[in-house]
Amino acid sequence: MDKEEIRKYLKPITDGLFGKQRKPLYERPHFQIRDLNEMLRDLTAIPDVNWYGYAFSREPLNGKFTDEQRRDWMEKSIACGRQYAHKMMDEYGTSDSAEMARKMGMVVTYPQFPDKTDRVMFAEFREPNNIKIFMDAVDKAEDLLQDPETAQILTPKLHVSKLLLAHELFHYVEEQYKNEIFTRQEKIRLWKVGPVHNDSEVIALSEIAAMAFAQEVNDLPYSPYVLDTFLVYGYSPEEASGLYEEMMDYSRRA
């Protein structure tokens, strides 16, 4: 790719870990570039539930929720992800997400880049059973993990492509259990006029549960939301530093 294509490719990099989340409601033109390992030490120390502010910041309906609702939904979505992680590990007899995907009959491919998109994506699930893990991001992460301190902070349990795969597997599992799973059954009422009403799913619940599912399957000792900053750092240390600031700001409010 030439410089202009790379610039276009990096433009929406703050969309989030899996390229599905919306940008923050604010944008700043420049960020102080921070040391990666210092950021990772801070982020891996954030308790799982305290990520709720950041997780819901990408939710289109976020303005309609109270902080109490966000925290409650965060706890329930994490529990949902963990529940189905154990359900799938028991059913398929493995905690290896690649083996689990094979036994589920998933079609998993590993292209270097996504096709025909102007945004960075790390992984993608498409119904009915297709998952793509984009190796450009994985390769950049593996380069960063050559630093012994980075590898120590993120622990030997981190296998980037398998973590991404596990997250996308949850979206397949969610579809199979849509008539009972919390993330699909929980809804918010947008309006009601007499007997007529409009209820909507809360998209963030699915993403939170997918993070918890991936964390449980991989036995990761910290929230996979940390990978937002880590993976983005491979493309832009400045944007990664901006994400870090946002994450820390939300965690302090929790």
Model confidence over 8-41: pLDDT tens digits?
A: 444 444 444 554 444 444 444 578 899 999 999 9
Can you give the C-alpha Rg of the chain in angstroms? 18
pLDDT digits (tens, 9 = 90+) for 206-230: 999 999 999 999 999 999 999 999 9
pLDDT digits (tens, 9 = 90+) for 166-208: 999 999 999 999 999 999 999 877 666 667 656 678 999 999 9
- pTM confidence score: 0.86
% of the chain residues with pLDDT over 70: 83
Q: Mutual orientation of helices 97-104 and 160-176 as an angle, nearest 10°?
A: 30
Separation CA 52–CA 29 (nearest Å): 25
pLDDT at 22: 42
Length of the chain equals 254
% of the chain residues with pLDDT over 90: 74
202 burial type by CB count under 10 A (0-12 exposed, 13-18 middle, 19+ buried): buried
Separation CA 72–CA 111 (nearest Å): 38
